[in-house]
Amino acid sequence: MKTPMKVAVTGAAGQIGYSLLFRIAAGDMLGEDQPIDLCMLERDNEASIKAARGVMMELDDCAFPLLNKVCSTSDPSECFRDADIAMLVGARPRTADMQRADLLAANAQIFVQQGRAINNVAKPDIKVLVVGNPCNTNAYIARKCAPNINPKNFTAMMRLDHNRTLTQVAQKINCKVTDIEGLCVWGNHGGTMFPDLTHSTVKGKPVMTMIDKTWYLSDLVPTVAGRGGAIIKARGHSSAASAANAAIDHIRSWIKGSNDQIVTMAVPSDGSYGIPEGLTFGFPVVCKDGDYEIVKGLEIDDFHKEFFAKNIKALEEEKAIVDEIIAKS
């Protein structure tokens, strides 16, 4: 039997957490031969602690063979101690009275604290996925507060945007999602993200020869960017099971490899494609041997550059706000 891996999950008693934990414990993320120690971080208030206790009781009641240990705490140091993987889902939701800067500030405090705790107590090669929004900038904050950890190991979730794009395209051209290769979503997980079909193929045939550009730009791009809002309208709650599924996909690809396929991860830019170094940006990556590499050498034209510029602007504005907060914290 393998040594258990410790997976730390924040916001575990929330909507996404409620889907995510059970799939991790069932082996969907790390495989059927990998025992897991699961530790949940909840806020230090009675309601959250009670909710987490309820989730722990349900995890017990599943009798998952792979679940070696479960714990719940409101102490980040306890949660992240010796963790192999951290899934940072918990974040402050935007309320009606909040400006964007207020939301950034509220979340910055959370990710400063969690980044520092990860830096001090986690395994040095911990892999971090930030789901809580604004996820790209939250991942940037946590990375900046964890100088002892390889910066590459702080990533944010754009796999949901990737998966959404896959299905929209598959439905449009009537193929299987698994037939589509080379697709990615560049940029920021927000209104400016750019689902890129220009390098994707279906059984070797370019997708761009199977769709028209009007559908692509006037339908697909806004549908993917607005999908979260459409789900809230339809369901009355934000996407949860699909977000949890994307988080599982993200970590599984990273740890177990993506079989030479391109997937989307938001990762610190190394300057590729003119994206300023250090911004957490959605890139096409290939995962192998527990690592990922940004795919290089894709042809980029003015059409891409226009979308990139919007995303760079959005992320640099957020970075300017949080850099001040990090400096003062």
Binding site for ligand NDP (CB under 6 A): 10-11, 13-17, 41-43, 45, 48, 89-93, 110, 131-133, 135, 157, 160, 189, 238-240, 243
CB of 40 to ligand NDP, least distance (A): 9
Helices (H) and strands (E) in the chain, counts: 11, 14
Token pair in block for residue 93 = 């939701």
Question: What is the C-alpha to C-alpha distance for residues 168 and 207, in angstroms, rounded to an integer?
Answer: 12
**Cβ contact 328:222 at 8 Å:** no
Best CA proximity match to 141, nearest among 109, 174, 185, 176: 109
Shortest Å distance, C-beta 70 to ligand NDP: 16
User: In angstroms, what is the minimal distance from the CB of 273 to ligand NDP?
Assistant: 21
Nearer to ligand NDP, 134 or 182 (CB): 134
Residue 173 to residue 163: CA distance in whole angstroms? 16
Residue 193 falls in which region: left (phi positive, over 0), alpha (psi -120 to 50) or beta: beta
**From the CB of residue 289, how many other CB atoms can be counted at a distance below 10 Å?**
8
- Least Å distance between CB 151 and ligand NDP? 19
Q: Which of 162, 189, 199, 304 is catalytic?
A: 189
Choice between 240 and 325, CB closer to ligand NDP: 240
> CB of 104 within 8 A of CB of 134?
yes
- Closer residue to ligand NDP, CB minimum distance, 170 or 231: 231
Beta carbon nearer to ligand NDP, 156 or 287: 156
CA atoms within 13 A on the CB side of 191: 3
- Let me know if 162 is a catalytic residue: no
- Dihedral Cα 185, 187, 192, 193, nearest 10 deg: 10
Q: Closer CB to ligand NDP, residue 48 or residue 119?
A: 48
- Cite the beta strand spans of the chain per DSSP E: 5-10, 36-41, 67-73, 85-88, 127-130, 154-156, 180-181, 184-186, 194-196, 201-202, 205-206, 263-268, 280-288, 291-294
CB of 24 to ligand NDP, least distance (A): 14
Q: 15 or 68, CB closer to ligand NDP?
A: 15
> Minimum distance between the CB of residue 249 and ligand NDP, rounded to whole angstroms?
11
Cα–Cα distance, 122 to 278 (Å, whole number):
22
Return the ∠ at Cα 174 (arms to 172 and 175), rounded to 5°: 120
Residues classed as catalytic = 189
